[in-house]
């Protein structure tokens, strides 16, 4: 049988890093430096709570936006840690990892051929997710001599009438580079000038050791134009649990999220 396959899906190359991961998975005496993952299992207090929740019967459909208790905890955490205020009812969405969060954001914001600026090198799924949503990924080269950083003037130059968003990821996978508050302020000014939505994948934010990590929505005026993505995979050694979240303007986060249950 000749199966119908989408043209876009056909054009997306397989992930090299995943092929490598599958190759070494289960091999003894090999340290895999491929996927970004802590080298220890989820701490026992987290595993124990999950077991207890299952025993208590937390096994049913949740709201489309995720369990309200969890959204409230995410809101508390962001307020405590970064002074960021998000309404758990309307501005926080629980997702299947940051991976689903990115997919949903792209689908929510892009129309055909809308452009998204992405640093190159970048995390492997950014381009496919942009293209599957009908958009175009515009790569901005970040060479070693700029410390693999995007520069404000480079971003400004790349913008045209079809540019809708910039996807930031800091600390970056794969380069490890991150941005100081001053550097981020430069990017924020361009985002304002060019009316860009900023999708900020900060999944490695808690693994910043050399200076304080600045979440993009904490910069003046940026909360309203940022979709902040984070999750539990890296900071809590929970990669297999598949839990992440997206926080941002209710117009994007709550878009069609009310109504039926996810999966129903
Ligand atoms: C930059 C970046 N974003 C997102 C992810 C995926 O995160 P999650 O496990 O929450 O889907 C990864 C995983 O390696 C990553 O490196």
Instruction: Give 88-140 pLDDT, tens digit per residue.
Output: 999 999 999 999 999 999 999 999 999 999 999 999 999 999 999 999 999 99
Within a domain: residue 45? no
Q: Rounded CA gap, 251 and 264, in Å?
A: 23
Burial of residue 97, with CB atoms counted within 10 A of its CB: 0-12 exposed, 13-18 middle, 19 or more buried = buried
Under 8 Å between Cβ of 166 and 192: no
Q: How many other β-carbons are positioned within 10 Å of the β-carbon of residue 166?
A: 25
pLDDT at 222 over 90: yes
Query: If you average pLDDT over residues 18-47, what whole number do you get?
Result: 82
Which is the closest atom of ligand 1 to the Cα of 35?
14
- On whether the CB atoms of residues 169 and 123 are closer than 8 A, the answer is yes
What Å distances lie between residue 122 and 48, 88, 188, 194, CA to CA?
A: 35, 30, 20, 22
Distance, CA 203 to ligand 1 centroid (Å)? 7
Closest atom of ligand 1 to CA, residue 96: 11
Which of 16, 171, 233 has most ligand 1 atoms within 8 Å of CB, for mutation?
233
User: Is the pLDDT score of 257 beyond 60?
Assistant: yes
How far is ligand 1, taken at its centre, from the CA of residue 2, in Å? 34
- Least Cα distance to 236 among 202, 197, 206 occurs for 206
Cα distances (Å, whole numbers) of residue 157 to 69, 153, 161, 185, 221: 43, 6, 12, 17, 22
- Would you say residue 44 lies in a domain? no
Q: Find the residues whose C-beta lies inside 6 A of ligand 1.
A: 35-36, 97-99, 123, 169, 173, 201, 203, 231, 233, 239, 244
* Inside any domain, residue 28: no
* Parent domain of 108: 65-253
Nearest CA to ligand 1 atom 16: 173
**Based on the structure, what is the number of domains in the chain?**
1
| Band (214; pLDDT cuts 50, 70, 90) | very high
Please give the average per-residue pLDDT across 146-165, as a whole number.
97
Query: Which residues are CB-neighbours of 154 under 8 A, at least 6 positions away?
Result: 140
Instruction: Return the biggest CA–CA distance within the chain.
Output: 57
- The answer to whether residue 200 is domain-embedded is yes
Q: Is residue 27 part of a domain?
A: no
Report the CATH number at residue 243. Answer: 3.40.640.10
Q: Is 229 inside any structural domain?
A: yes
- Answer whether residue 114 is part of any domain: yes
CA-closest residue to ligand 1 atom 13: 36
pLDDT tens, 15-26?
776 677 777 777
Residue 24 lies in a domain: no
Residue closest to 155 by CA, chosen among 110, 109, 118: 118
């Amino acid at each position: 049988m000749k199966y119908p396959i989408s043209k876009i899906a056909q054009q997306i190359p397989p992930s090299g890093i995943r092929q490598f991961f599958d190759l070494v998975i289960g091999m003894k005496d090999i340290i895999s430096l491929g996927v970004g993952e802590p080298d220890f299992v989820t701490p026992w207090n987290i595993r124990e709570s999950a077991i207890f929740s299952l025993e208590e019967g937390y096994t049913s459909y949740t709201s489309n936006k995720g369990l309200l208790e969890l959204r409230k905890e995410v809101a508390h955490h962001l307020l405590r840690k970064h002074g960021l205020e998000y309404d758990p009812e309307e501005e926080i969405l629980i997702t299947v990892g940051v991976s689903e969060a990115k997919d949903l954001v792209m689908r929510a914001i892009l129309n055909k051929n809308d452009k998204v600026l992405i640093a190159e090198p970048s995390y492997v799924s950014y381009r496919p997710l942009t293209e599957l949503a009908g958009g175009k990924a515009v790569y901005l080269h970040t060479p070693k001599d700029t410390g693999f950083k995007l520069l404000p003037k480079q971003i400004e130059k790349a913008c045209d009438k079809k540019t809708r968003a910039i996807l930031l990821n800091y600390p970056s996978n794969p380069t490890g580079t991150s941005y100081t508050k001053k550097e981020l302020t430069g990017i924020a000014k361009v985002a304002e000038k060019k009316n860009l939505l900023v999708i900020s994948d900060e999944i490695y934010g808690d693994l910043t050791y050399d200076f304080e990590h600045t979440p993009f929505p904490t910069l003046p005026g940026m909360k309203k134009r940022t979709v902040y993505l984070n999750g539990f995979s890296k900071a809590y050694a929970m990669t297999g649990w598949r839990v992440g979240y997206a926080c941002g303007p209710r117009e994007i986060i709550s878009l069609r999220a009310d109504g039926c249950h996810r999966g129903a």
